[in-house]
Structure 1
């Protein structure tokens, strides 16, 4: 039986455990009688997408993102429309998609899974031409993503510090949201589009989201006074935000959003930029994953 061909795309700057020697772990924990592996290293932003597309063209069956949610997003984008499956060795500060797919967070265990991986397909979201696999969003979470990227340090503690600091001054924006037969004129403090259940770090923004059901879970928070902020925080941590009454939930295949003023948006936790009009849609089962 021919060996399974796997390409690992390593982001050397990802996450909080950079001291771990990933190539040595791959050598140690892969069964090289079953797997033929190669490692590519990223050199700049966007490079992982290019390398993933190249690896798929070279015939690798699995292309593994070794990094955080941003690296996973880049590799996933590069594999759309190819015959290669996305794998993940989580090495980030949030690891949202890895957690949703129950990929082990310990690197040796995550690597050993590729000796006999399971294959399945997942839905893929898109916001204004930017694919996402876990979550995308407008408003406060995007603003925090932008500030977090500039913070200089990573990890949950830094994210919480940034969120608490920015909470004092962030204000909601009037928006119009259209999906199916519904049209909502409301305010946006947070409008999240969830393909998977969580942002990362087990913060469950949409605990009922199913990554294979052909629908996005929309989570709308129109304002966030202190009492509601506490309920949202507890809901994220406990995974019961829909029961809290602090957010409105909907499902849709396609969504259009018009904003009164430009709003920042993120894909899979990485800030993208601002826009006043958004088209968000979902393509069912558009990406194969290996876990």
Structure 2
């Protein structure tokens, strides 16, 4: 008898909307059991998903599915980097950036049926100061918002937007020295985003032209931001098109180095990491197998 490929589902029990779906029951109902064996495990603490994913990959698991938000997806993907085990996603967060980019259905049942189709391809991953990311990383204002959001008791897109509107007027640009494609730029910076995928999540496209399989970072630099530029940038992100040159600048690069006079905040996939005064951001091309067609 041929052994079925095995799928491990890693569920973050704290992710998901208040009207909770019994994901384990939906997996048992909709997974194609004629094609796949499976097990379901739950995370108990930060970083646990990475450990569980590594364990599954070392055991020869064909697919590990992250059931949760962008933070859970990042943790699981970190455990699968440069292995033959593919990342699957059942999106249960507020942003779901990588799931949206890979065109994974946002419903639990739809995501399981997507896994049943058996599509498989490879994508790039990014790295900022040793921290892998799969959608975006950034320094400046977006990292600051990530830190405030992490401390908020309320989640969801509405809370995120409210925080941005509250904080944008008080946040000040910072001087940096950035080396991009061998060219050094001395400038003030409001935010510098490093994109592997096109969007932060919630269909907010910080780098609409980003290709998750081209081995390059798409860098969005906003030097200074007033209210008019903020409105232009916000509209462009929602309209899935680059902002005007007076609001943002875009670069493609294999590696970016940034030096600042002061320690500033940074994030990876929306998760606040900490502060640093030097940043090295690079790519690991074709480093992660995913359950998604190559489109």
Residue in 1 that maps onto 2:142: 141
Residue in 1 that maps onto 2:255: 254
Residue in 1 that maps onto 2:120: 119
Residue in 1 that maps onto 2:100: 99
Residue in 2 that maps onto 1:202: 203
- Distance, in Å, in 2 between the alignment partners of 1:88 and 1:31 is 16
The Cα of 1:103 is off from its aligned counterpart by 0.3
Q: Does 1:33 align with 2:38?
A: no
- Distance, in Å, in 2 between the alignment partners of 1:187 and 1:15 is 38
The Cα of 1:18 is off from its aligned counterpart by 5.8
**Quick one: structure 1 residues 18 and 81, their matched pair in 2 at CA, closer, same or farther if it must change by over 3 Å?**
farther
Q: Does 1:240 align with 2:233?
A: no
The Cα of 1:289 is off from its aligned counterpart by 0.5
Unaligned runs of 5+ in 2: none
Alignment length (residue pairs): 291
Q: Does 1:192 align with 2:193?
A: yes
Residue pair 2:232, 2:243 contacting (<8 A) in 1 also: no
Residue pair 2:233, 2:243 contacting (<8 A) in 1 also: no
What TM-score comes out, normalization by structure 2 length?
Answer: 0.96
The Cα of 1:81 is off from its aligned counterpart by 2.4
CA RMSD of aligned residues (A): 1.1
- Distance, in Å, in 1 between the alignment partners of 2:275 and 2:219 is 19
**What SS class does the counterpart of residue 72 from structure 2 fall into?**
helix
Matches within 5 A, 1:1-291: 1-17=2-18, 19-243=20-244, 245-291=246-292
Residue pair 1:3, 1:34 contacting (<8 A) in 2 also: yes
**Quick one: structure 1 residues 82 and 278, their matched pair in 2 at CA, closer, same or farther if it must change by over 3 Å?**
same
State the Cα deviation string for residues 98-147 of structure 1 (Å, max 9, x = none).
00000000110101122222111001100000000000000000000111
Give 4+ residue runs of structure 1 displaced > 6 Å after superposition.
Answer: none
Residue pair 2:198, 2:210 contacting (<8 A) in 1 also: yes
The Cα of 1:43 is off from its aligned counterpart by 0.3
**What SS class does the counterpart of residue 71 from structure 1 fall into?**
helix
- Distance, in Å, in 2 between the alignment partners of 1:85 and 1:59 is 11
Residue pair 1:9, 1:48 contacting (<8 A) in 2 also: yes
- Distance, in Å, in 2 between the alignment partners of 1:153 and 1:71 is 18
Residue pair 1:123, 1:283 contacting (<8 A) in 2 also: yes
The Cα of 1:244 is off from its aligned counterpart by 6.2
The Cα of 1:260 is off from its aligned counterpart by 1.9
Residue pair 1:231, 1:244 contacting (<8 A) in 2 also: no
